[in-house]
Copies of this chain bind each other. A is one copy, B any other.
């Protein structure tokens, strides 16, 4: 089942047909891309008249944005939940790598249950300034500050190299995202041992590929 659809159903109060429209749009757009999916197709798959789509969304792009922005916000969500930041500073995590584990595991599961949506975000991010704005805002206001605090904390504990936070974030985050892209999009059918893969990922993030002499 789909986390995000559930969330949309509750937050905004949508009609059953509206939910069907969103469900159909997610399916089709993640398969074929935004520009290659027509509103008539979405209507057909949703079992709805084409006019109904435009009753709820002024334009096709408004529909896309409505689908995509909650994904961006929620993918970054745990970063600015008080619970998360609290946990770090109440030192529920003895070591940085323990925090990394919980963090990656958590986001991994989120990705797993929202693959089509994440596909859409990645594909359309490049073309739609509206989506880019949402992404930049979340990153600047939420992700970045949370990361900053956390990195400082573990630097003081002497667990991290003395690289600028910004550099660290810039190198760690794409590594994690790249890992998930490989796992869910490039080679989804390989039989993965996810637990082991996540541990290896953390090993490499913490200690690199070089041998310790």
Contacts and interface: CB of A to CB of B under 8 A. Distances in A.
Interface of A: 32-33, 35-36, 96-97, 119, 122-123, 126-127, 158-163, 167-168, 170-175, 177-179, 181-182, 185, 197, 200-201, 203-213
Contacts of A158: 211, 213
A158 to B, nearest CB: 6
A160 B32 contact: no
A167 to B, nearest CB: 6
Contacts of A206: 208-210
Query: How many copies of this kind of chain does the complex include?
Result: 2
B182 A174 contact: yes
Nearest to A180: B174
Contact of A126 (B123, B170, B207): B123
A161 B127 contact: no
Contacts of A181: 174
B211 A161 contact: yes
A121 to B, nearest CB: 12
A158 B212 CA distance: 9
